[in-house]
Structure 1
Amino acid sequence: MKKCTYIVVFCFAVILFSFAYSHTSFAKKRCKPFLEKLHNIQTTQRTGYSLKRGENLRGKEDKARDKWWQCENSSQAKFKAQYGGKKKKAKKRTKHKKDKAVKKNTYYTKLNKISSYSQHQETRFNQHSAIVIKSKYQGDKKMSWLDFYHQPIKCQYPKTMSIFAYCSENKLQQQSAFEQSYRD
């Protein structure tokens, strides 16, 4: 009786084990890199891109989906015969480890300089050259304009583009007010 129960338990374990590690579970493990590649391409498609890049991504997605689908629905032997095994990447040989370390350090220092420079620098207006403004008015009208126009203090040396834009807008507003008052 004990032998019979051991045999039944053993057979049940073998059947359960064979279902747990069936062809589909092996296929899923085998095809996981193809599915990940497909998901990466789809993630890239969700970001902004140009028309040419979109067509390229669409083609890559179609190929990746086809390859993943073939992997899921075919046996391992058929798939290897059609697509081949995994391709190994060629390793680049370096002459000296020191050269590699120096290049790496210079690359990162340049990258840090560029990123820190672009984050903290404001766009400045050229302060060193004279600003030449040609007058719209001549004669008595020009003299009246010079009496009417009052330049704000911060507009004497504008240091940023926003201040320069404010000064230009202020001058235009004063010009329109001057035009209306000069006509009357």
Structure 2
Amino acid sequence: AYNHRMRIERRRTARDRSQGSPVRIPEPRVSDMRLSAVRAARRARRDRRGRGLRSPLLPQGVPAWRSKSDDFDAVALEAFAEIDTHWHDQLAGLDIAVDEIPRLLPRDPDTVQWPDEVTADGAVPLARLMPAGVDVHGAPTRAQIILFRRPLESRAKRGEELLDLVHEVLVQQVATHLGLDEETIDRGPE
């Protein structure tokens, strides 16, 4: 689906311009020229220079085909898998989510104090625990850990460092969720 904005024209009549009367705005009209330009752009994208439809540059089996978001999701799943093997029964009601950037910002970055539900590196949150509750429609919600992808990726140089960092952040968040210390979560139940 191609998402575009259409230009809406509003014209003033000559009488409205010459006199000081209030402007009469006719019904909005979509510019026919704009629609034809959109159609031409779609056609050009599908059949460039008459050579047929364009195909993906890389086949799906090639590692470069995956996006950074897909790679981060795989790292997050791998980091959580070890924790989940030890604490599966206690984590049955917990979801893991990934967001690009944090939507919560400190008022004063110099003296910020985050609550226990937020794992941060200084003034930048890396993850947040959202406890179970009730949404605006009255339906129950599950607890979830939200990982912020961009801040985590910017703090790790290689894939192994990112895996270790995400694992460390998840251990902190699961420890907060279960009310246990981080060493117990990392070791597993005895």
Provide the TM-score with structure 2 as the length reference.
0.20
Q: Which has the larger radius of gyration?
A: 1
Greater share of residues in strand: 2
Greater share of residues in helix: 1
